[in-house]
Amino acid sequence: MTVSFFALYRRPEDADAFDSAYFGTHVPIVAGTPGLLENKVHRVKRQLVGEPAYYLLAELVFTDAEAMKAAFKSPEWGASGANLQEWGGMDLVTMFTTDGPGAAG
């Protein structure tokens, strides 16, 4: 069963600067993470209730929890965290992990 790591980004003050840093440097670094099956980035287009607070949702999919734990210890993962801090993304992001689809109970 796959597991996912999510990064939920709040709306940045300067969307163009965010996009340039996120897609120009951060995504390519994350793509090199060992054990990563998919990096799905979703742009939030509409929030149904309340004011739009979120901008992007990134889902990083791994084969299992062990693969994700190993990835978190990799130099590539460390580099992605350092990159995120360089352009201020840490102030905008909430991160969490989940079980794979259909994992109820």
Q: Using a pLDDT cut of 90, give the percent of the chain over it.
A: 73
Asked if the model's pLDDT at residue 33 lies above 80, the reply is yes
pLDDT, tens digit (0-9, with 9 covering 90-100), for 50-95: 776 899 999 999 999 999 999 999 999 999 999 999 998 888 998 9
Does 8-52+65-92 carry CATH code 3.40.30.10? Answer: no
d(CA 105, CA 98): 13
Structure tokens at 71: 């990835």
d(CA 89, CA 45): 20
Helix (H, G, I), strand (E, B) or coil at 101: coil
pLDDT at 105: 47
pLDDT, tens digit (0-9, with 9 covering 90-100), for 1-17: 889 999 999 999 999 99
